[in-house]
Amino acid sequence: SQPLSFPKSFQWGFAAAAPQIEGAAFEDNKGPSIWDTFARIPGKVLNGDTLDVACDHYHLYEKDLELMAKLGAKNYRLSISWPRIFPKGRGSVNPLGIDFYNRVIDACLLHGVTPWVTMFHWDLPQALEEDFGGWRDRRTADAFGPYADTLVKSLGDRVKNWITINEIFCFTQDGYGNGTKAPGAKESEQVVNQTYHTALLAHGEAVRAVRQYGGHGARVGITDNPIPTIPLTETEGDIEAARQTFIEINSRVLEPLYRGEYTDAYFKVVGPNVAHFQQEDFDLISQKTDFLGLNVYTGQFVRTGANGSPEILPFPKSYPTADATWLAHAPQAIYWCARHVAEIYEVPSIIITENGAGYDDAPPVNGEVLDLHRRDYVRNYLRELHRSIGDGVPVDGYFLWSFMDNYEWMDGYQRRFGVVYNDYATQQRTPKLSAKWFGQVMAENRIL
């Protein structure tokens, strides 16, 4: 085979999420999400940017899918907006919401693009935040059950790849802990742990829904963003230190999912601030899934410290990052994250559901955006991903975040993650250099 080629069945694609691209935030009976509310609080989002219009994908989806297919994508990870389907989070279904996603799925299939559908990518219906306290309360997971049922029943004849929930860590820790994401709350650690637990229950409801109504060939998994731990050197001591650290710092999500209980690693990390739970919750939470989605952007270096225990190394100021400064350029993160979940939890199939880089790209010049920075970022991570497959790690797919520039949460529209440039004033899409390069990678199934 060619150098740096991927297995024949490897799945390549683009990823995006409803709230970040759709716009039409109050159209066709969509209810407000906690992000629609949060974005309106002065000072919370850069430049006061809202999700109201975003990339106007709600109206431009046909053209977007045409472009995606033209760039060579065979897979597309999209998300569904809960408040578009249930404007108040529960109660009666909004048929116009179902219609929209029917049209999007049909457009995918028309263009030979397989949809991978995320049921929840952070846009919680505002009504559930008001009625139940959102993720603080298990009634939100109870409401998620019928929502998941509705999605699987209406789209499951065409959608076979389901992702339950995106990045529990982010919307709990940031949404209810430090308040940087919607709903912007600053709760105690115990309450934050409770939000994790509710989210895990919702994941369980979604798995149940897919098993119950998904029909032939339906597959389901969660997308997690564990903090990757990279051994400073690939020697036994540092490798062991990175492994131990990985288990502990990611214990809130991965231990209950794969061990079916809160383990010692969890109790060690949360101390007295344990979530309230019932033993039978774990029957729901730890149902067997078909794959684990991983979003990998950056990682933490770990070594064996002077006293023999693992030590996480802080990044010095001069360490290279994307313009998104949280995004330290650490390609080994993708290798180690995949390897750790495969080794520690015996995950049978791993899909990289997101990887990419955020920069403040300048507008096209003569129709070109020469984003060598993004191209090289992705290329370096792909080389490490390729290495993991060579070492026997079962990675079966890679989705680049993101298809086009979009609403980057509290960084608004300034921070661009797309391989397609979006001019927000005209909604004109221009593929960047990275899009053309990645298209060729997908077509040739190897790193170029």
- List active site positions: 354
Does 224 engage in binding with ligand GCO (CB under 6 A)?
no
Residues linked to residue 119 through DSSP beta bridges, in sequence order: none
The pair of three-digit structure tokens given for residue 268, joined into one six-digit string: 């060690």
Q: Which is nearer to ligand GCO, 173 or 286 (CB)?
A: 173
* Contact window for ligand GCO (CB under 6 A) among 67-75, 163-171, 380-388, 422-430: 163-171
Residues linked to residue 118 through DSSP beta bridges, in sequence order: 79, 163
Matching residue, tokens 């290279």: 320
Does 401 engage in binding with ligand GCO (CB under 6 A)?
yes
Shortest gap between Cβ of 14 and ligand GCO (angstroms)? 13
Find the Cα–Cα–Cα–Cα dihedral 435, 436, 439, 445, rounded to 10°: -120
Does 17 engage in binding with ligand GCO (CB under 6 A)?
yes
Closest residue by Cα to residue 233 from 246, 242, 225, 224 = 242
Shortest gap between Cβ of 327 and ligand GCO (angstroms)? 8
Shortest gap between Cβ of 182 and ligand GCO (angstroms)? 12
Q: Which is nearer to ligand GCO, 156 or 358 (CB)?
A: 358
Helix-then-strand count for the chain, H and E = 16, 13
Residues 328-357 touching ligand GCO, rule: CB under 6 A, are: 354
Q: Which is nearer to ligand GCO, 354 or 361 (CB)?
A: 354
Does 167 engage in binding with ligand GCO (CB under 6 A)?
yes
Q: Which is nearer to ligand GCO, 115 or 358 (CB)?
A: 358
Near ligand GCO by CB under 6 A: residue from 408, 418, 427, 435 = 408
Query: How far is residue 352's CA from residue 166's CA, in Å, rounded to a whole number?
Result: 12
Handedness of CA 167, 169, 172, 178 (dihedral sign): negative
Residues, the chain: 448
Query: How far is residue 39's CA from residue 50's CA, in Å, rounded to a whole number?
Result: 5
Q: Which is nearer to ligand GCO, 89 or 358 (CB)?
A: 358
Residues 269-288 touching ligand GCO, rule: CB under 6 A, are: none
Contact yes or no for 203/164 (Cβ under 8 A): yes
* Contact window for ligand GCO (CB under 6 A) among 135-143, 162-170, 258-266, 365-373: 162-170
Does 238 engage in binding with ligand GCO (CB under 6 A)?
no
Shortest gap between Cβ of 57 and ligand GCO (angstroms)? 14
Q: CB neighbours of 143 closer than 8 A, spacing ≥ 6?
A: 86, 89, 90, 128, 132
Shortest gap between Cβ of 206 and ligand GCO (angstroms)? 17
Q: How far is CA 401 from the centre of its chain?
A: 9
Near ligand GCO by CB under 6 A: residue from 4, 46, 93, 170 = 170
Residue 95, amino acid? P
Does 410 engage in binding with ligand GCO (CB under 6 A)?
no
Contact yes or no for 179/190 (Cβ under 8 A): no
Does 384 engage in binding with ligand GCO (CB under 6 A)?
no
Which ranges constitute the DSSP H helices of 12-116?
18-21, 34-38, 57-70, 82-85, 95-110
Residue numbers of the site for ligand GCO (CB under 6 A)? 17, 20, 166-167, 170, 225, 295, 354, 358, 401, 408, 417
